[in-house]
Structure 1
Amino acid sequence: MDEFFFQHYLPNALATKKRGPDDRLTYSKHLAKSFGSLPLSDISSRAVNEWRNKQIAKGLKNSTINKHIDFLMNIIKLAYVWGHVDDQLHIKINIRKLPVGNYTQKFLNETEIRNLLNGCKRSPHPYLYLAVKLLLLTGARVGELRNARWSDIDEHKRIWIVPVSKNGRSREIFLSAESLDTLATVRRESVALGTAHLADGYVFTNPRTETKYDSFYAAWYKVVRSEGLEDVRIHDLRHTYASILINNEVSIYEVQRLLGHSNVTMTQRYAHLLRSKLHEKTELVSKAIENPWN
């Protein structure tokens, strides 16, 4: 398995997948110990189920374990497609995924936003507060923020171009005046930290490694724990951005454009937020008719 992964699967993933480097990390951390030394043809239902149960014992989330199962099956399927095994093991292996339930979206209220931002201000991380503020102001994905370069930002047009978004296409992020002010603060901070001159030009450059941040999660989790917001994920900032727009009567189609969704179906997950507004709108009809039946 190690030989196939590192000599065949990984080079292909690095060349064709945006998240190719993540595959290397996931394999090395979660799959290599259990399967790396096994011949591909010896990977059995029993071995896979035992591996899954070990992940459960480690306390990994069910959704994470299910992603690892899919990853393993994809590797084995590709081995068959490329002729490294004769059997369709990815079909024969009997592995049951774990229940994850329905995901409940989290939208931060004004108090939670204020507490979160104040906690981020107190963090020793040089950019956490500015990064979180920008995520709230723009609805950007955290990966888009980590990969942003100054060359992607047109301050005159107030547009941030994401060259390759989650759906594989470029997209525009529209910048408010406050977003531009926050970016100006980031630029001043990068000058103070001595990273403004670097050729890569990342908006958020780690002063220790002099390249983009791998993540903000370690600092993020310290803050949400200290503020009693343990159930808040960093992606919930994007949900919060959408909820603020909808609650201020921005149409679902405008929200679609602002979030960069390729079709409105993806944006419909926020449609339930419109209900209270729609109830208000029905009163307009009553006022217009002026209750002629009374």
Structure 2
Amino acid sequence: MFWRKKPEDAAIAVTMDDFFFQQYLPNTLVTKKRGSEDRLTYSKHIAGPFGKLCLNDITSRKVNDWRNKQIEKGLKNSTINKHIDFLMNIIKLAYVWGYLEDQLHVKIDVRKLPIGNYTQKFLSDTEIRRLLTGCKQSPHPYLYLAIKALLLTGARVGELRNARWSDIDAQKRIWTVPVSKSGRSREIFLSTESLDTLMEVRRKSIRLGTSDLPEGYVFTNPRTRTKYDSFYAAWYKVVRAEGLEDVRIHDLRHTYASILINNEVSIYEVQRLLGHSNVTMTQRYAHLLRGKLHEKTELVSKAIEAPWS
């Protein structure tokens, strides 16, 4: 049991931002050694989706959608779990201090993600065909083209959702990401097939009556007339139907990298194509080179074989 405060001035409909900045943060800056990190985490990951909501309006569905968007962005499971714990702690304190009538931290049903056993998933040719076939059959107007574009470019799903037509230079076959995950602009080099896929998106956008103007989003939701918040719901239905539940959208980026490595593209070229700020991040794919490196050693054997044969 815990003692629950009932402040006389507690607002009936206090927003998450109001509670966090006026109540939670001043307290945590005093009681926690690294309280300033809470402010950064909140501003970066929680304020956007929840800040303007009244505390009572936060639901299981909204929290699960937020978790799923973090999965799409490629955040580590352990990081997402920490964000979930942080959000639940804020909500729990709001209840303890009397700013919530209901124990939302108990009622909200959000599954935390497994950690420790996740390994990078690289889709086989068969899995890619199954996935694309399933996406093509989806009623979602853009899922097939979006997933195909991710496979062909190695782009992050957030980069795809935020892409505007002005970012695509069809003549040079360059897609410019104004601000990437690293905080810097980067270029995505488009193959003929990936450019054709984006042009098919444009043709479909015209048919659906969404904008193909330079300032328009490449993937514009025909219902809301703005960019998609997420492809996760449609994606999950497809991978479940195809028996590919262990595949995450971010695994498409891993698959893109693995195809490059297996076709003898150097680790430094892969780094550039993925937009990694340093080669250390690309080294996670180095194990894929082992078979190729064994093949390369045979070149030396053949070169020096003649003198003593």
Q: CA shift at 1:259, angstroms? A: 0.4
Q: CA shift at 1:216, angstroms? A: 0.5
Deviations 1:259-291 (A, max 9, x none): 000011110100000000001001111111117
Give the structure, 1 or 2, with the largest relative contact order (CA under 8 Å, sep 6 or more): 2
Question: Relative to 1, partners in 2 of residues 1:98 and 1:152: Cα closer, same or farther, differing over 3 Å?
Answer: closer
Q: Distance in 2 between matches of 1:149 and 1:10?
A: 34
Quick one: which amino acid aligns to residue 48 of structure 2?
A: P
Quick one: which amino acid aligns to residue 81 of structure 2?
A: I
Match of 2:278 in 1: 263
Match of 1:108 in 2: 123
| SS of match in other structure, 1:206 | coil
Q: Is the 8 A contact 2:165 2:213 kept in 1?
A: no
Q: CA shift at 1:21, angstroms? A: 1.5
Match of 1:167 in 2: 182
Deviations 1:143-183 (A, max 9, x none): 11011000111111111111111111111111111111111
Unpaired runs of at least 5, structure 1:
34-60, 77-96
Q: CA shift at 1:16, angstroms? A: 6.8
Q: Distance in 1 between matches of 2:287 and 2:196?
A: 33
Map residues 129-278 of structure 1 onto 2, 5 A cutoff.
129-196=144-211, 200-278=215-293
- Normalised by the length of structure 1, the TM-score is 0.73
Unpaired runs of at least 5, structure 2:
1-9, 23-38, 64-76, 92-111
Q: CA shift at 1:196, angstroms? A: 2.3
Query: Aligned pair 1:119/2:134, yes or no?
Result: yes
Q: Calculate percent identity across the aligned residue pairs.
A: 72
Match of 1:21 among 40, 48, 51: 48
Moved more, 175-184 or 2-11: 2-11
Q: CA shift at 1:258, angstroms? A: 0.4
Q: Is the 8 A contact 1:160 1:175 kept in 2?
A: yes
Map residues 279-290 of structure 1 onto 2, 5 A cutoff.
279-290=294-305
Quick one: which amino acid aligns to residue 7 of structure 1?
A: D
Q: CA shift at 1:246, angstroms? A: 0.4
Match of 2:84 in 1: 68
Q: CA shift at 1:67, angstroms? A: 2.9
Q: Is the 8 A contact 2:155 2:253 kept in 1?
A: yes
- Normalised by the length of structure 2, the TM-score is 0.70
Question: Relative to 1, partners in 2 of residues 1:121 and 1:266: Cα closer, same or farther, differing over 3 Å?
Answer: same
